[in-house]
Chains A and B, each alone.
Chain A
Amino acid sequence: MLILCLVTPALAVEPSEMLKDPALEARAREIGRALRCVVCQNQAIDDSSAEVAHDMRRAVRERLTAGDSDRQVMDFMVARYGDYVLLKPPFKAGTWLLWLGGPLVLLLAGGALLLAARKRRTIATAPAPPLSDEERARVAALLREPSQGR
């Protein structure tokens, strides 16, 4: 499949497909970059030379010429090919983790860091526990010893 799309890499959007109206063509490009060529591996229809991509680009331009808004064109393509055609998947039951995963990592890790920092501060500022009798005796013994030099 990948090979199919890369065979003639220079053939993406063709002059024959392009609309006369530059504003409309610019909108078609914007949409084309967000739609996936359904037989390729991760390529937008604008970048693909596959036959399907060619048909999809034409379909986008037909809808635009017919007066559809960008939104309506996208909906039309989704109705035809499913959510799979969107390179930016919609926020849905199946994709919430995809969308929220990154922010979740940030929040959890950031929260853990804050907690750790607070804990460290309380440890650092807490007064040292008093020495036990045994420890005091050892300190005294150490202080009495003549220093042995380095």
Chain B
Amino acid sequence: MIPELGHFALILALAVALVQGTLPFVGAAKGDIRLMALGRSAALTQVLLIALAFLALMQAYVASDFSVANVVANSHSAKPLLYKISGVWGNHEGSMLLWSLILAVFGAAVAVFGNNLPDSLRARVLGVQALIGVGFLAFILFTSNPFERVSPAPVDGNGLNPLLQDPGLAFHPPLLYLGYVGFSVTYAFAIAALLEGRVDAAWARWVRPWTLAAWCFLTCGIALGSWWAYYILGWGGFWFWDPVENASLMPWLAGTALLHSAIVVEKRDALKSWTVLLAVLAFSLSLLGTFLVRSGVLTSVHAFAQDPARGIFILGFLLLVTGGGLALYAWQAPKLSGGGLFQPISREGALILNNLLLCTLAATVLLGTLYPLFLDLLTGNKVSVGPPFFNATFVPICAPLFAALCVGPFLNWKRAELGPALVRLRAAFAVSVIAAIVAAVAVDGRATLAAVAFGFGVWLILGSLVEFAGRVRRGRLRTLPRATVGMTISHAALGVVVLGAVATASWNVELIRTMKPGDSAEFAGFGVKLESIVPGQGPNYIAERATLVLTRNGQPYTTLTPERRLFTVQRRQISETSIHTNLLRDLYATLGEGDADKGWTIRLYWNPLAPWIWLGAGLCALGGFVSLSDRRLRIGAPRGSKGRSRTAVQAAE
């Protein structure tokens, strides 16, 4: 009964979305306030209905209702409660439902907090949001219904992929989707602006926090996914340039560009047309990511052709959203031109350079991800595009981006001098060069490029701090806008990520050895002894647990207990790594296959600065949230005269 209620709520939600996606547009065109106000109540109704459907599915999972096909395919009665809940979005149908729910939540947020928006703009934004919702709800109802029943109901389910039964991955999809879907709001604002034919500072003041929020969540989502890969896949890698990862990196890059260009719109009333285009592109890339991951096209072009209904639907939707957005842009964008003038060497100029490089990076990733697919489709030739390709194409473009990143914040709006900025960065530059040389000489005998990259990391941190120190010295710490503090945190955090990534990837030490209980080895200055391997039992798996005792100078240092787990339902093994961290390096151990006769394969890694990758990513998102807490951007903050004059003061800086 409850699954049917959920199904019914979803159908109603589609009907409401259809109303919300049409009548408010008519109202906005005719100036009919009642029709425009309809958008608001429809958005609230929609979120209630989809939440009801989502809760219905969750109920089926928590209660292990095996008459629902989706629950049978992805759950099991012996699964821990957390993974019963995360199982709701750990599969195709449920994750699409989660996507729709988040979309509706954002729509409702615009409806509730958007009182200070012009009526017609709000109506149109909600209308566009609803049309996106129509696409996804129709997709769920017609191709991926999570509420389908099976009869007769089996006694138990097939269980969730053991790799997904992990706290990191339980929260990875919701965070990622908050990011992806957050860009739908900026998309809706962009389309509404194109329909209105104007972009003003009020528009930018709305778009910027939404972009920022979406970007923060996306950053967290990507970081969590990378962390998960690091500790679960068992060889210490953290980024594989896998198409699934690239799918989330592309909107992140476009979103980062959008974040920066929106500043120019808000403060200088320039770059309006470009910002609108970026908003369209950022969401299109989010959808493309969904298409790539959800259609099966990545596994093989042919897998996509075998089950075309879903793939074709998303592809068509993607074309509609992107093509429609771009067509509308081509038609209406000329109206948006104009705005503040500026010299090439200026804050605006620096932000344009940022956008240019970030978009090139996004294009590089896009090309590397899609090229093999297109080549296969068009010529039948197969080509592999992997980490070495991206290291050769992506990383070199990061160099000018990182170099310019520290200089940009020194430049004034409209017109600036490069000289004084460079003089103030002298010390930071010198220290970075020394760090690179030290790294090249002392730590690294293999690749000097890693040392250069290390120097860039130091440069990013020091350069950002020097700029911040300059502001503090001018005695403006108390009045410093939170947005500026957030910027410094995020920029420096990027440097932390770079340091962590370079050090881990280039200077790690590994030990791979077959060991029996009682065996010892030397590893990265530690003595390692395999004490024992004992069987263990989890809620839905059986395990072998190794106890590795690490000693330093004969003194006990720490104990690592990697496990190998066999999930009994799926008959699948996964390795549970054991990591000891002191925030400067990780000691990372995994247990491979083996038995008492041959011994077990033990892998140990010493990963310098590895925790900094995720620490940095977390700080990066934190910077975004700090910036979001800026009074000026606080969602729903009244457009009082106070707020306006503050903005004016900052714009004049």
**Residues of A that sit less than 8 Å from B by CB:** 1-2, 6-16, 18, 33-34, 36, 41-44, 46-47, 82-89, 94-95, 97-99, 101-102, 105-106, 109-110, 113, 117, 120, 124
Q: Which of A2, A101, A110 contacts B367 (CB 8 A)?
A: A101
Do A42 and B234 touch (CB < 8 A)? no
Known: A42-B242, A44-B386. 18 other contacts (CB 8 A): A9-B235, A10-B234, A10-B590, A10-B593, A14-B592, A15-B513, A15-B514, A33-B387, A36-B384, A47-B240, A88-B389, A89-B384, A95-B375, A97-B371, A102-B360, A105-B364, A106-B357, A113-B352
**Please, what's the 1-or-0 string for B326-349, where 1 marks a CB less than 8 Å from any CB in chain A?**
000000000000000100100000
Q: List 25 A-B contacts (CB under 8 A).
A: A9-B233, A10-B592, A11-B592, A15-B513, A16-B514, A41-B299, A42-B384, A47-B233, A47-B237, A84-B383, A87-B384, A87-B388, A89-B383, A89-B389, A94-B375, A94-B381, A95-B371, A98-B385, A102-B393, A105-B360, A106-B360, A106-B397, A109-B356, A113-B352, A124-B341
CB distance from B272 to the nearest CB of A (A): 14
Cα-based distance from A87 to B344 in the complex (angstroms): 39
Q: Is B573 an interface residue (CB 8 A)?
A: yes
Q: Is B591 an interface residue (CB 8 A)?
A: yes
Q: Is B392 an interface residue (CB 8 A)?
A: yes
Given contacts A36-B386, A87-B387, A95-B383, contact A113 B572 (CB under 8 A): no
**Please, what's the 1-or-0 string for B2-39, where 1 marks a CB less than 8 Å from any CB in chain A?**
00000000000000000000000000000000000000
Q: Which of A10, A46, A89, A105 contacts B591 (CB 8 A)?
A: A10
Count contacts on B: residues with CB < 8 A to the other chain. Answer: 55
Closest to B572 in A: A7
CB distance from B74 to the nearest CB of A (A): 15
Closest to A34 in B: B388
Given contacts A7-B572, A102-B367, contact A89 B385 (CB under 8 A): yes
Which residues of B from 541 to 595 have beta carbons under 8 Å from A?
564, 572-575, 590-593
Q: Is B650 an interface residue (CB 8 A)?
A: no
**Please, what's the 1-or-0 string for B443-464, where 1 marks a CB less than 8 Å from any CB in chain A?**
0000000000000000000000
CB distance from B233 to the nearest CB of A (A): 5
CB-CB under 8 A from A94, the residues of chain B are 375, 379, 381, 383
Closest to B590 in A: A10
CB-CB under 8 A from B512, the residues of chain A are 13-15, 18
CB-CB under 8 A from A44, the residues of chain B are 386-387
CB-CB under 8 A from B575, the residues of chain A are 8-10
CB-CB under 8 A from A113, the residues of chain B are 352, 356
Do A98 and B368 touch (CB < 8 A)? yes
Cα-based distance from A94 to B359 in the complex (angstroms): 24
CB-CB under 8 A from B411, the residues of chain A are none
Which residues of B from 223 to 262 have beta carbons under 8 Å from A?
232-235, 237, 240-243
Do B383 and A102 touch (CB < 8 A)? no
Q: Which of B243, B379, B384, B388 contacts A33 (CB 8 A)?
A: B388
CB distance from A80 to the nearest CB of B (A): 14
Cα-based distance from A124 to B338 in the complex (angstroms): 12
Cα-based distance from A63 to B352 in the complex (angstroms): 50
Cα-based distance from A40 to B368 in the complex (angstroms): 18
Q: Is B485 an interface residue (CB 8 A)?
A: no
Given contacts A87-B387, A98-B371, A105-B360, contact A12 B299 (CB under 8 A): no
Do B389 and A8 touch (CB < 8 A)? no
Cα-based distance from A33 to B241 in the complex (angstroms): 13
Cα-based distance from A41 to B301 in the complex (angstroms): 12
Q: Which of B163, B357, B379, B593 contacts A6 (CB 8 A)?
A: B163
Q: Is B298 an interface residue (CB 8 A)?
A: yes
CB distance from A22 to the nearest CB of B (A): 11
Do B592 and A83 touch (CB < 8 A)? no
Cα-based distance from A1 to B357 in the complex (angstroms): 36
Closest to B362 in A: A105
Do B593 and A8 touch (CB < 8 A)? yes
Report the 8 A-B pairs with minimum CB-CB distance, sorted nearest first: A87-B386, A88-B388, A10-B575, A102-B364, A10-B234, A101-B367, A105-B363, A106-B360
Do A106 and B384 touch (CB < 8 A)? no
CB-CB under 8 A from B234, the residues of chain A are 9-10, 12
